[in-house]
Structure 1
Amino acid sequence: MAKVFASERRKIIMEKLQEHKRVTVKELSEEMQVSEATLRTDLTKMEEDGLLQRTHGGAILVENIDNETNFFSREKRNKNEKSAIAKKAVELISNGQCIMLDASSTALELARTLNDLPIRLMVVTSGINTALELKDHPNITVILLGGIVKKGSYSLEGHLGVNILKQINIDMLFTSANGFSFESGLMDFSVYEVELKKAMVSASKKVVALLDHTKINKNSIAPFASIDQIDTIITDFDITADYADKFQEHNIEVIVASPEKNVY
Protein backbone atom coordinates (compact mmCIF):
# COMPACT_ATOMS: atom_id res chain seq x y z
CA MET A 1 0.00 0.00 0.00
CA ALA A 2 1.28 3.50 -0.84
CA LYS A 3 2.46 5.71 1.99
CA VAL A 4 -0.39 7.53 3.72
CA PHE A 5 0.56 11.04 4.81
CA ALA A 6 -0.47 12.48 8.19
CA SER A 7 -3.16 14.77 6.72
CA GLU A 8 -4.68 11.85 4.81
CA ARG A 9 -4.61 9.59 7.90
CA ARG A 10 -6.34 12.21 10.01
CA LYS A 11 -8.98 12.79 7.37
CA ILE A 12 -9.73 9.05 7.32
CA ILE A 13 -9.87 8.99 11.13
CA MET A 14 -12.39 11.85 11.19
CA GLU A 15 -14.54 10.22 8.51
CA LYS A 16 -14.70 7.05 10.60
CA LEU A 17 -15.44 9.00 13.77
CA GLN A 18 -18.26 10.90 12.12
CA GLU A 19 -19.74 7.62 10.89
CA HIS A 20 -19.17 5.34 13.89
CA LYS A 21 -18.52 7.83 16.76
CA ARG A 22 -15.50 5.78 17.89
CA VAL A 23 -12.36 4.17 16.45
CA THR A 24 -9.67 1.80 17.71
CA VAL A 25 -5.97 2.04 16.99
CA LYS A 26 -5.87 -1.65 16.09
CA GLU A 27 -8.60 -1.35 13.43
CA LEU A 28 -7.06 1.81 11.97
CA SER A 29 -3.63 0.18 11.84
CA GLU A 30 -4.96 -2.84 9.96
CA GLU A 31 -6.93 -0.74 7.48
CA MET A 32 -4.26 1.87 6.70
CA GLN A 33 -1.22 -0.41 7.08
CA VAL A 34 0.33 2.11 9.47
CA SER A 35 2.00 1.35 12.79
CA GLU A 36 -0.06 1.70 15.97
CA ALA A 37 2.59 4.05 17.38
CA THR A 38 2.12 6.43 14.43
CA LEU A 39 -1.65 6.37 14.84
CA ARG A 40 -1.41 7.02 18.57
CA THR A 41 0.66 10.11 17.72
CA ASP A 42 -2.04 11.18 15.23
CA LEU A 43 -4.79 10.75 17.84
CA THR A 44 -2.83 12.70 20.44
CA LYS A 45 -2.31 15.61 18.04
CA MET A 46 -5.97 15.55 17.00
CA GLU A 47 -7.03 15.59 20.65
CA GLU A 48 -4.80 18.63 21.23
CA ASP A 49 -6.61 20.32 18.34
CA GLY A 50 -9.96 19.55 19.97
CA LEU A 51 -11.09 17.15 17.25
CA LEU A 52 -11.61 14.03 19.39
CA GLN A 53 -11.14 12.49 22.82
CA ARG A 54 -8.59 9.75 23.42
CA THR A 55 -9.73 6.51 25.04
CA HIS A 56 -7.90 3.34 26.03
CA GLY A 57 -7.00 1.81 22.66
CA GLY A 58 -8.61 4.44 20.48
CA ALA A 59 -10.73 7.61 20.42
CA ILE A 60 -14.32 8.82 20.49
CA LEU A 61 -16.20 11.72 18.93
CA VAL A 62 -16.97 13.75 22.03
CA GLU A 63 -20.22 15.61 22.57
CA ASN A 64 -18.77 19.08 22.15
CA ILE A 65 -17.32 18.08 18.78
CA ASP A 66 -20.72 16.83 17.67
CA ASN A 67 -22.04 20.29 18.54
CA GLU A 68 -19.65 21.85 16.04
CA THR A 69 -22.04 20.69 13.35
CA ASN A 70 -25.15 21.91 15.22
CA PHE A 71 -26.21 25.17 13.63
CA PHE A 72 -28.08 26.57 16.62
CA SER A 73 -25.11 25.93 18.88
CA ARG A 74 -22.77 27.77 16.52
CA GLU A 75 -25.20 30.63 15.92
CA LYS A 76 -25.25 31.60 19.61
CA ARG A 77 -21.48 31.83 19.91
CA ASN A 78 -19.76 35.23 19.61
CA LYS A 79 -22.96 36.91 18.44
CA ASN A 80 -21.62 40.47 18.84
CA GLU A 81 -18.45 39.63 16.92
CA LYS A 82 -20.39 38.08 14.05
CA SER A 83 -22.71 41.09 13.87
CA ALA A 84 -19.74 43.47 13.69
CA ILE A 85 -18.10 41.34 10.98
CA ALA A 86 -21.35 41.28 8.98
CA LYS A 87 -21.63 45.07 9.08
CA LYS A 88 -18.11 45.41 7.69
CA ALA A 89 -18.84 42.80 5.01
CA VAL A 90 -21.86 44.75 3.74
CA GLU A 91 -19.56 47.67 2.94
CA LEU A 92 -17.87 45.52 0.27
CA ILE A 93 -21.13 44.77 -1.56
CA SER A 94 -22.38 46.93 -4.43
CA ASN A 95 -25.80 47.22 -6.01
CA GLY A 96 -26.37 44.75 -8.85
CA GLN A 97 -23.70 42.23 -7.82
CA CYS A 98 -24.01 38.47 -7.64
CA ILE A 99 -22.63 37.28 -4.32
CA MET A 100 -22.39 33.87 -2.69
CA LEU A 101 -22.89 33.04 0.98
CA ASP A 102 -21.94 29.75 2.59
CA ALA A 103 -24.05 28.04 5.25
CA SER A 104 -22.18 29.49 8.23
CA SER A 105 -23.84 31.33 11.09
CA THR A 106 -21.71 34.40 10.27
CA ALA A 107 -22.98 34.40 6.68
CA LEU A 108 -26.53 34.19 8.06
CA GLU A 109 -25.79 37.28 10.12
CA LEU A 110 -24.67 38.99 6.90
CA ALA A 111 -27.94 37.95 5.25
CA ARG A 112 -29.90 39.52 8.12
CA THR A 113 -27.96 42.75 7.64
CA LEU A 114 -28.66 42.71 3.90
CA ASN A 115 -32.35 42.11 4.52
CA ASP A 116 -32.64 45.55 6.11
CA LEU A 117 -31.06 47.36 3.17
CA PRO A 118 -32.63 48.73 -0.05
CA ILE A 119 -30.16 46.85 -2.25
CA ARG A 120 -30.55 44.90 -5.50
CA LEU A 121 -28.59 41.63 -5.57
CA MET A 122 -28.47 38.05 -6.69
CA VAL A 123 -27.48 35.79 -3.77
CA VAL A 124 -26.34 32.21 -4.28
CA THR A 125 -26.13 30.19 -1.07
CA SER A 126 -25.61 26.72 0.35
CA GLY A 127 -27.40 27.71 3.55
CA ILE A 128 -31.07 26.85 3.91
CA ASN A 129 -31.57 29.39 6.71
CA THR A 130 -29.78 32.05 4.66
CA ALA A 131 -32.08 31.45 1.68
CA LEU A 132 -35.15 31.64 3.93
CA GLU A 133 -33.88 34.84 5.52
CA LEU A 134 -33.64 36.62 2.16
CA LYS A 135 -36.58 35.08 0.28
CA ASP A 136 -39.00 37.98 0.90
CA HIS A 137 -36.61 40.82 0.08
CA PRO A 138 -38.18 42.61 -2.92
CA ASN A 139 -34.89 43.20 -4.75
CA ILE A 140 -32.83 40.14 -3.89
CA THR A 141 -33.00 37.04 -6.06
CA VAL A 142 -32.00 33.92 -4.11
CA ILE A 143 -30.55 30.76 -5.64
CA LEU A 144 -30.22 27.80 -3.27
CA LEU A 145 -27.53 25.35 -4.33
CA GLY A 146 -28.55 21.71 -4.56
CA GLY A 147 -27.05 19.10 -2.27
CA ILE A 148 -27.57 16.72 0.61
CA VAL A 149 -29.03 18.26 3.76
CA LYS A 150 -26.46 17.91 6.52
CA LYS A 151 -27.70 16.26 9.71
CA GLY A 152 -28.05 18.64 12.66
CA SER A 153 -27.57 21.64 10.41
CA TYR A 154 -29.20 23.81 7.78
CA SER A 155 -26.46 23.42 5.20
CA LEU A 156 -26.02 21.45 2.00
CA GLU A 157 -23.06 19.31 1.06
CA GLY A 158 -21.87 17.21 -1.86
CA HIS A 159 -21.41 17.81 -5.59
CA LEU A 160 -25.03 18.27 -6.68
CA GLY A 161 -24.80 22.06 -6.66
CA VAL A 162 -21.58 22.30 -8.64
CA ASN A 163 -23.27 22.45 -12.07
CA ILE A 164 -25.23 25.55 -11.04
CA LEU A 165 -21.98 27.29 -10.17
CA LYS A 166 -20.72 26.76 -13.71
CA GLN A 167 -23.62 28.81 -15.08
CA ILE A 168 -23.33 31.89 -12.85
CA ASN A 169 -20.70 34.64 -12.58
CA ILE A 170 -20.04 35.07 -8.86
CA ASP A 171 -18.51 38.44 -7.95
CA MET A 172 -17.76 37.60 -4.34
CA LEU A 173 -17.96 34.64 -1.95
CA PHE A 174 -18.46 35.31 1.75
CA THR A 175 -17.45 32.25 3.74
CA SER A 176 -16.56 31.37 7.30
CA ALA A 177 -14.57 28.39 8.52
CA ASN A 178 -14.02 26.19 11.54
CA GLY A 179 -10.35 27.21 11.52
CA PHE A 180 -7.72 29.27 9.74
CA SER A 181 -3.92 29.05 9.60
CA PHE A 182 -1.27 30.43 7.26
CA GLU A 183 -0.15 26.87 6.52
CA SER A 184 -3.55 25.36 5.63
CA GLY A 185 -5.77 28.34 4.83
CA LEU A 186 -9.48 27.93 5.57
CA MET A 187 -10.53 24.62 7.11
CA ASP A 188 -13.80 23.05 8.12
CA PHE A 189 -14.91 20.19 10.32
CA SER A 190 -17.02 18.24 7.84
CA VAL A 191 -15.02 16.43 5.19
CA TYR A 192 -18.19 16.24 3.10
CA GLU A 193 -19.23 19.91 3.27
CA VAL A 194 -15.79 21.07 2.13
CA GLU A 195 -16.28 19.42 -1.27
CA LEU A 196 -19.02 21.92 -2.07
CA LYS A 197 -17.05 24.75 -0.45
CA LYS A 198 -14.05 24.03 -2.68
CA ALA A 199 -16.28 24.40 -5.73
CA MET A 200 -17.73 27.64 -4.33
CA VAL A 201 -14.23 29.07 -3.86
CA SER A 202 -13.18 28.09 -7.39
CA ALA A 203 -16.31 29.65 -8.92
CA SER A 204 -15.83 33.05 -7.26
CA LYS A 205 -13.83 36.03 -8.52
CA LYS A 206 -13.11 37.12 -4.95
CA VAL A 207 -13.10 35.20 -1.64
CA VAL A 208 -13.89 37.04 1.60
CA ALA A 209 -13.37 35.09 4.83
CA LEU A 210 -15.56 36.05 7.80
CA LEU A 211 -13.57 34.91 10.84
CA ASP A 212 -14.20 35.81 14.46
CA HIS A 213 -11.19 35.63 16.78
CA THR A 214 -11.86 32.02 17.81
CA LYS A 215 -11.17 30.82 14.26
CA ILE A 216 -7.68 32.32 13.84
CA ASN A 217 -4.80 29.89 14.39
CA LYS A 218 -7.25 27.05 14.90
CA ASN A 219 -6.78 23.77 13.07
CA SER A 220 -9.60 21.71 11.65
CA ILE A 221 -9.66 18.53 9.64
CA ALA A 222 -10.38 19.50 6.02
CA PRO A 223 -8.93 22.50 4.11
CA PHE A 224 -11.15 24.09 1.45
CA ALA A 225 -9.31 27.30 0.51
CA SER A 226 -5.55 27.78 0.43
CA ILE A 227 -3.98 30.98 1.73
CA ASP A 228 -3.42 32.16 -1.85
CA GLN A 229 -7.12 31.80 -2.70
CA ILE A 230 -8.21 34.26 0.01
CA ASP A 231 -8.54 37.91 -1.01
CA THR A 232 -9.92 39.51 2.15
CA ILE A 233 -10.35 38.57 5.80
CA ILE A 234 -12.82 40.37 8.06
CA THR A 235 -12.17 39.64 11.73
CA ASP A 236 -12.30 41.02 15.27
CA PHE A 237 -8.94 39.34 15.97
CA ASP A 238 -6.25 41.63 17.39
CA ILE A 239 -3.88 41.88 14.42
CA THR A 240 -0.28 42.30 15.58
CA ALA A 241 2.48 43.72 13.37
CA ASP A 242 3.74 40.19 12.76
CA TYR A 243 0.32 39.04 11.56
CA ALA A 244 -0.08 42.15 9.43
CA ASP A 245 3.22 41.41 7.69
CA LYS A 246 2.18 37.81 6.99
CA PHE A 247 -1.16 38.89 5.52
CA GLN A 248 0.56 41.52 3.38
CA GLU A 249 3.04 38.91 2.18
CA HIS A 250 0.12 36.89 0.81
CA ASN A 251 -1.67 39.98 -0.60
CA ILE A 252 -4.62 39.52 1.77
CA GLU A 253 -6.56 42.60 2.78
CA VAL A 254 -7.52 42.53 6.46
CA ILE A 255 -10.53 44.47 7.75
CA VAL A 256 -10.86 44.67 11.52
CA ALA A 257 -14.37 44.75 12.98
CA SER A 258 -14.94 46.11 16.48
CA PRO A 259 -17.81 44.38 18.30
CA GLU A 260 -20.15 46.42 20.46
CA LYS A 261 -19.56 45.77 24.13
CA ASN A 262 -22.45 44.58 26.26
CA VAL A 263 -23.56 47.15 28.80
CA TYR A 264 -25.10 45.88 32.02
Structure 2
Amino acid sequence: MLQLERQQQILNYLEKNRKATTNELSELLGVSATTIRTDLNQMDKEKLLTKTHGGAIYRDRSGDKKDLTGRAYFFDERALENQPEKEAIASEAVKLVRDHMCIFLDASSTAYTLGMKLTGFTELTVITNGINLALALKDVPGITVILTGGIVTSASSSIEGLLGEDLLRKIHTDIAFVSARGFSLENGLTDFSIYEADLKRMCIKASAKTIALIDHTKFDTTSISSYASLDDLNLVITDNHLSQNTREVYEKAGIDLVIAE
Protein backbone atom coordinates (compact mmCIF):
# COMPACT_ATOMS: atom_id res chain seq x y z
CA MET A 1 0.00 0.00 0.00
CA LEU A 2 1.39 3.39 -0.98
CA GLN A 3 1.71 6.25 1.47
CA LEU A 4 -1.19 8.27 0.08
CA GLU A 5 -3.60 5.34 0.28
CA ARG A 6 -2.50 4.53 3.83
CA GLN A 7 -2.83 8.08 5.08
CA GLN A 8 -6.21 8.50 3.43
CA GLN A 9 -7.42 5.40 5.26
CA ILE A 10 -6.12 6.84 8.53
CA LEU A 11 -8.12 10.02 7.93
CA ASN A 12 -11.23 8.03 7.06
CA TYR A 13 -10.89 5.91 10.20
CA LEU A 14 -10.45 8.96 12.43
CA GLU A 15 -13.39 10.73 10.86
CA LYS A 16 -15.57 7.74 11.71
CA ASN A 17 -14.15 6.81 15.12
CA ARG A 18 -12.81 10.20 16.30
CA LYS A 19 -9.65 8.62 17.75
CA ALA A 20 -7.30 5.68 17.22
CA THR A 21 -4.25 4.10 18.81
CA THR A 22 -1.07 3.36 16.91
CA ASN A 23 -1.64 -0.36 17.42
CA GLU A 24 -5.20 -0.13 16.07
CA LEU A 25 -4.02 1.54 12.90
CA SER A 26 -1.09 -0.85 12.57
CA GLU A 27 -3.42 -3.85 12.64
CA LEU A 28 -6.00 -2.18 10.41
CA LEU A 29 -3.51 -1.31 7.67
CA GLY A 30 -1.14 -4.24 8.05
CA VAL A 31 2.00 -2.14 8.56
CA SER A 32 4.40 -1.67 11.45
CA ALA A 33 3.77 0.67 14.36
CA THR A 34 6.88 2.57 13.30
CA THR A 35 5.35 3.26 9.89
CA ILE A 36 2.13 4.46 11.53
CA ARG A 37 4.03 6.77 13.88
CA THR A 38 5.89 8.25 10.91
CA ASP A 39 2.58 8.86 9.14
CA LEU A 40 0.99 10.42 12.22
CA ASN A 41 3.96 12.74 12.81
CA GLN A 42 3.84 13.97 9.22
CA MET A 43 0.07 14.38 9.19
CA ASP A 44 0.14 16.20 12.52
CA LYS A 45 2.66 18.69 11.12
CA GLU A 46 0.33 19.27 8.18
CA LYS A 47 -2.61 19.72 10.58
CA LEU A 48 -4.50 16.81 9.07
CA LEU A 49 -4.96 15.28 12.52
CA THR A 50 -3.81 15.78 16.11
CA LYS A 51 -1.19 13.33 17.30
CA THR A 52 -1.46 12.12 20.89
CA HIS A 53 0.61 9.83 23.10
CA GLY A 54 0.09 6.41 21.58
CA GLY A 55 -2.16 7.45 18.72
CA ALA A 56 -4.13 10.32 17.19
CA ILE A 57 -7.48 12.06 17.37
CA TYR A 58 -9.72 13.49 14.69
CA ARG A 59 -9.09 17.09 13.70
CA ASP A 60 -12.00 19.07 12.32
CA ARG A 61 -10.73 20.47 9.02
CA SER A 62 -13.99 22.01 7.87
CA GLY A 63 -12.60 25.50 8.45
CA ASP A 64 -9.49 25.24 6.32
CA LYS A 65 -10.78 22.44 4.05
CA LYS A 66 -7.32 20.99 3.80
CA ASP A 67 -7.00 17.38 2.72
CA LEU A 68 -4.42 15.18 1.11
CA THR A 69 -4.95 16.69 -2.32
CA GLY A 70 -4.17 20.17 -1.00
CA ARG A 71 -0.55 19.59 -0.04
CA ALA A 72 2.62 19.37 -2.08
CA TYR A 73 2.62 16.08 -3.94
CA PHE A 74 4.83 13.29 -2.70
CA PHE A 75 6.27 11.09 -5.42
CA ASP A 76 4.19 8.07 -4.38
CA GLU A 77 1.06 10.21 -4.46
CA ARG A 78 1.74 11.47 -7.97
CA ALA A 79 2.48 7.93 -9.13
CA LEU A 80 -1.08 6.95 -8.22
CA GLU A 81 -2.71 9.56 -10.43
CA ASN A 82 -3.79 8.77 -13.99
CA GLN A 83 -1.67 5.62 -14.23
CA PRO A 84 -3.15 4.26 -17.48
CA GLU A 85 -2.66 7.64 -19.14
CA LYS A 86 0.97 7.82 -18.01
CA GLU A 87 1.61 4.32 -19.32
CA ALA A 88 0.18 5.24 -22.70
CA ILE A 89 2.17 8.49 -22.88
CA ALA A 90 5.40 6.73 -21.88
CA SER A 91 4.85 3.97 -24.45
CA GLU A 92 4.55 6.61 -27.15
CA ALA A 93 7.55 8.58 -25.90
CA VAL A 94 9.93 5.62 -25.74
CA LYS A 95 9.52 5.18 -29.51
CA LEU A 96 11.52 8.40 -29.93
CA VAL A 97 14.57 7.19 -28.00
CA ARG A 98 17.44 5.75 -30.01
CA ASP A 99 20.71 4.09 -29.13
CA HIS A 100 23.66 6.43 -28.47
CA MET A 101 21.37 9.28 -27.43
CA CYS A 102 21.79 11.45 -24.35
CA ILE A 103 18.38 12.32 -22.88
CA PHE A 104 17.09 14.26 -19.90
CA LEU A 105 14.22 12.91 -17.81
CA ASP A 106 12.80 15.10 -15.06
CA ALA A 107 11.65 13.91 -11.63
CA SER A 108 8.01 13.51 -12.64
CA SER A 109 6.15 10.24 -12.22
CA THR A 110 5.44 10.27 -15.97
CA ALA A 111 9.15 10.49 -16.77
CA TYR A 112 9.75 7.68 -14.27
CA THR A 113 7.21 5.57 -16.16
CA LEU A 114 9.11 6.31 -19.36
CA GLY A 115 12.38 5.40 -17.66
CA MET A 116 11.03 1.97 -16.76
CA LYS A 117 10.61 1.30 -20.48
CA LEU A 118 14.25 2.02 -21.35
CA THR A 119 15.55 -1.47 -22.06
CA GLY A 120 17.51 -3.12 -24.84
CA PHE A 121 19.93 -0.25 -25.48
CA THR A 122 23.65 -0.80 -25.98
CA GLU A 123 24.59 2.79 -25.13
CA LEU A 124 22.21 5.38 -23.71
CA THR A 125 22.93 8.25 -21.33
CA VAL A 126 20.16 9.47 -19.03
CA ILE A 127 20.49 12.73 -17.13
CA THR A 128 17.91 13.19 -14.40
CA ASN A 129 17.10 15.03 -11.19
CA GLY A 130 14.82 12.16 -10.13
CA ILE A 131 16.32 10.12 -7.31
CA ASN A 132 13.90 7.19 -7.73
CA LEU A 133 14.57 7.09 -11.44
CA ALA A 134 18.35 7.20 -11.02
CA LEU A 135 18.23 4.31 -8.53
CA ALA A 136 15.98 2.28 -10.82
CA LEU A 137 18.19 2.77 -13.89
CA LYS A 138 21.65 2.52 -12.36
CA ASP A 139 21.95 -1.24 -12.91
CA VAL A 140 20.20 -1.44 -16.29
CA PRO A 141 22.65 -2.73 -18.93
CA GLY A 142 23.60 -0.18 -21.58
CA ILE A 143 22.44 2.86 -19.59
CA THR A 144 24.70 5.46 -18.01
CA VAL A 145 22.95 7.61 -15.41
CA ILE A 146 24.01 11.15 -14.52
CA LEU A 147 22.29 12.66 -11.48
CA THR A 148 22.19 16.46 -11.38
CA GLY A 149 23.65 18.19 -8.35
CA GLY A 150 21.54 20.15 -5.90
CA ILE A 151 19.34 19.94 -2.83
CA VAL A 152 17.52 16.68 -2.12
CA THR A 153 13.78 17.09 -1.47
CA SER A 154 12.02 14.39 0.51
CA ALA A 155 8.55 15.23 -0.79
CA SER A 156 9.13 14.84 -4.52
CA SER A 157 12.23 12.59 -4.33
CA SER A 158 13.99 15.04 -6.60
CA ILE A 159 17.10 17.20 -6.65
CA GLU A 160 16.43 20.90 -6.93
CA GLY A 161 18.61 23.93 -7.49
CA LEU A 162 21.59 24.60 -9.70
CA LEU A 163 24.55 23.44 -7.63
CA GLY A 164 25.41 21.30 -10.64
CA GLU A 165 25.06 24.24 -13.03
CA ASP A 166 28.61 23.92 -14.34
CA LEU A 167 27.97 20.28 -15.27
CA LEU A 168 24.74 21.15 -17.04
CA ARG A 169 26.48 23.83 -19.10
CA LYS A 170 28.89 21.22 -20.46
CA ILE A 171 26.32 18.59 -21.39
CA HIS A 172 24.10 18.70 -24.46
CA THR A 173 21.17 16.32 -24.75
CA ASP A 174 19.30 15.05 -27.78
CA ILE A 175 15.88 15.14 -26.10
CA ALA A 176 14.60 16.64 -22.86
CA PHE A 177 11.51 14.78 -21.68
CA VAL A 178 9.66 16.96 -19.18
CA SER A 179 6.31 16.98 -17.47
CA ALA A 180 4.60 19.78 -15.57
CA ARG A 181 2.04 20.62 -12.93
CA GLY A 182 0.22 22.80 -15.44
CA PHE A 183 0.13 23.61 -19.16
CA SER A 184 -1.60 26.60 -20.73
CA LEU A 185 -1.36 28.75 -23.83
CA GLU A 186 -0.63 31.83 -21.73
CA ASN A 187 2.05 30.42 -19.41
CA GLY A 188 3.38 27.32 -21.15
CA LEU A 189 4.71 24.62 -18.82
CA THR A 190 4.53 25.51 -15.12
CA ASP A 191 5.66 23.81 -11.94
CA PHE A 192 5.04 24.12 -8.22
CA SER A 193 8.74 24.43 -7.31
CA ILE A 194 10.62 27.47 -8.60
CA TYR A 195 13.89 25.62 -7.98
CA GLU A 196 12.94 22.63 -10.09
CA ALA A 197 11.61 25.00 -12.73
CA ASP A 198 15.05 26.67 -12.88
CA LEU A 199 16.70 23.30 -13.41
CA LYS A 200 14.27 22.28 -16.14
CA ARG A 201 14.71 25.63 -17.87
CA MET A 202 18.47 25.07 -18.06
CA CYS A 203 18.10 21.49 -19.29
CA ILE A 204 15.71 22.59 -22.03
CA LYS A 205 18.22 25.18 -23.23
CA ALA A 206 20.87 22.46 -23.41
CA SER A 207 18.70 20.09 -25.43
CA ALA A 208 18.27 19.81 -29.18
CA LYS A 209 14.61 18.89 -28.74
CA THR A 210 12.07 19.25 -25.92
CA ILE A 211 9.14 16.86 -25.60
CA ALA A 212 6.46 17.48 -22.98
CA LEU A 213 4.66 14.50 -21.42
CA ILE A 214 1.34 16.00 -20.32
CA ASP A 215 -1.81 14.08 -19.43
CA HIS A 216 -5.18 15.66 -20.19
CA THR A 217 -5.75 16.91 -16.61
CA LYS A 218 -2.82 19.35 -16.87
CA PHE A 219 -4.18 21.31 -19.83
CA ASP A 220 -5.52 24.81 -19.14
CA THR A 221 -4.07 24.83 -15.62
CA THR A 222 -1.25 26.94 -14.20
CA SER A 223 1.12 26.46 -11.30
CA ILE A 224 3.56 28.88 -9.67
CA SER A 225 6.62 28.99 -11.93
CA SER A 226 6.80 28.97 -15.74
CA TYR A 227 9.80 27.20 -17.24
CA ALA A 228 8.97 26.64 -20.91
CA SER A 229 6.97 28.64 -23.46
CA LEU A 230 5.05 27.15 -26.35
CA ASP A 231 7.96 28.02 -28.63
CA ASP A 232 10.30 25.85 -26.53
CA LEU A 233 8.29 22.70 -27.24
CA ASN A 234 8.92 20.50 -30.24
CA LEU A 235 6.22 18.01 -29.32
CA VAL A 236 3.57 17.39 -26.67
CA ILE A 237 2.46 13.82 -25.99
CA THR A 238 -0.85 13.44 -24.19
CA ASP A 239 -3.52 10.80 -23.65
CA ASN A 240 -6.72 10.13 -25.57
CA HIS A 241 -8.95 11.68 -22.90
CA LEU A 242 -8.06 15.16 -24.12
CA SER A 243 -11.22 16.77 -25.49
CA GLN A 244 -11.43 17.46 -29.21
CA ASN A 245 -12.07 21.13 -28.53
CA THR A 246 -8.95 21.49 -26.37
CA ARG A 247 -6.91 19.61 -28.94
CA GLU A 248 -8.01 21.95 -31.71
CA VAL A 249 -7.28 25.07 -29.62
CA TYR A 250 -3.70 23.97 -28.85
CA GLU A 251 -2.99 22.76 -32.38
CA LYS A 252 -4.26 26.08 -33.72
CA ALA A 253 -1.76 27.78 -31.39
CA GLY A 254 1.04 25.84 -33.08
CA ILE A 255 1.47 22.92 -30.70
CA ASP A 256 2.41 19.63 -32.32
CA LEU A 257 0.26 17.12 -30.40
CA VAL A 258 0.58 13.34 -30.36
CA ILE A 259 -2.35 11.48 -28.82
CA ALA A 260 -1.26 8.25 -27.11
CA GLU A 261 -3.83 5.48 -27.41
TM-score scaled by length of structure 2: 0.71
Partner of 2:204: 201
- On the 8 A contact 1:96/1:120 being kept in 2, the answer is yes
Partner of 1:13: none
Secondary structure of the residue that 2:213 maps to in structure 1?
Answer: strand
Code of the aligned partner of 1:64: T
Partner of 1:146: 149
Code of the aligned partner of 2:75: F
Code of the aligned partner of 1:82: K
The sequence identity of aligned pairs, in percent, is 43
Secondary structure of the residue that 1:123 maps to in structure 2?
Answer: strand
1:162 to 165, 172, 193: 165
The 1:242–1:128 alpha-carbon spacing in structure 2 relative to 1, beyond 3 Å, is closer
Partner of 2:192: 189
Q: Give, in whole Å, the separation in 1 of the partners of 2:75 and 2:246.
A: 34
2:70 to 48, 60, 65: 65
- On the 8 A contact 1:189/1:222 being kept in 2, the answer is yes
Match runs of 1:28-67 below 5 Å: 63-66=68-71
Gaps of 5+ in 1: 1-19, 23-52, 259-264
Partner of 2:89: 85
Q: Give, in whole Å, the separation in 2 of the partners of 1:211 and 1:227.
A: 13
Code of the aligned partner of 2:82: N
Q: Cα deviations across residues 150-196 of structure 1 (Å, max 9, x unaligned)?
A: 13121011111221111112110001000100110000111222111
Q: Identify which range, 130-139 or 191-200, moves more after superposition.
A: 191-200
Code of the aligned partner of 1:183: E
Q: Give, in whole Å, the separation in 2 of the partners of 1:119 and 1:244.
A: 39
Q: Give, in whole Å, the separation in 2 of the partners of 1:21 and 1:195.
A: 27
TM-score scaled by length of structure 1: 0.70
Q: Identify which range, 137-146 or 156-165, moves more after superposition.
A: 156-165
Q: Cα deviations across residues 33-62 of structure 1 (Å, max 9, x unaligned)?
A: xxxxxxxxxxxxxxxxxxxx9x7xxx8976
Q: Give, in whole Å, the separation in 2 of the partners of 1:254 and 1:175.
A: 15
- On the 8 A contact 1:179/1:215 being kept in 2, the answer is yes
* Higher RCO, Cα 8 Å, sep 6+: 1
Q: Cα deviations across residues 189-237 of structure 1 (Å, max 9, x unaligned)?
A: 1122211111111111111000111111112111111111111000014
Figure out how many residues of one structure are paired with residues of the other and give that number: 203
Gaps of 5+ in 2: 1-44, 48-60
Q: Cα deviations across residues 18-39 of structure 1 (Å, max 9, x unaligned)?
A: xx989xxxxxxxxxxxxxxxxx
Q: Cα deviations across residues 39-89 of structure 1 (Å, max 9, x unaligned)?
A: xxxxxxxxxxxxxx9x7xxx89764232x4311100111111101100100
